[in-house]
């Protein structure tokens, strides 16, 4: 999907999936329950499972959010706060009234978006995997 297309046609809650991502059974119910329990949250960050070419599975759960957004942002930059911006994160449409995917950045644009979200929006973590990520040789992600 072209970046400009990501910025158009958004619904109330948005979940972006990459081609090598698969939602686990019950993923949407997990998000819905979290939304119902914390309606003020603008971003819900869940866990995911990475599956290597050999079939090895690694569960990754999101880090703990700091009291101040700027501290969570700093932890994310230092790779001390684990999250996957696409697939395991659901965004409120309201985020995209002021924050968009960057145009002109064609690699890691989801990370740039996540920097902005962690700094400026109310986030909540869900300590449950909702996604499988298949790793392959041409994957640009190595987490």
Percent helix, strand and coil across the chain, each to the nearest 5: 30, 25, 45
**Which run of H or of E encompasses 37?**
helix 27-37
Query: What pLDDT does 14 receive?
Result: 84
- Which parts of the chain sit beneath pLDDT 70? 1-11, 100-109, 136-143
**pLDDT tens by residue, 53-88:** 899 999 999 988 889 988 888 888 888 888 777 788
């Amino acid at each position: 999907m072209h970046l400009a297309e990501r910025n158009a046609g958004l619904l109330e809650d948005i979940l972006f999936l990459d081609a090598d991502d698969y939602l686990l059974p019950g993923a949407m119910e997990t998000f819905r329950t979290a939304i119902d329990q914390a309606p003020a949250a603008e971003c819900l960050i869940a866990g995911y499972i990475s599956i290597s070419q050999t079939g090895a599975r690694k569960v990754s759960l999101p880090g703990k959010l700091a009291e101040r957004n700027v501290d969570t942002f700093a932890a994310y930059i230092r790779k001390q706060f684990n999250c996957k911006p696409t697939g395991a994160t659901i965004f409120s449409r309201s985020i995209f009234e002021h924050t968009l995917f960057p145009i002109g950045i064609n690699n890691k644009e989801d990370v740039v978006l996540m920097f902005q979200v962690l700094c400026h929006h109310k986030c909540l973590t869900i300590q449950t995997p909702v996604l499988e990520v298949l790793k392959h040789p041409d994957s640009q992600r190595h987490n």
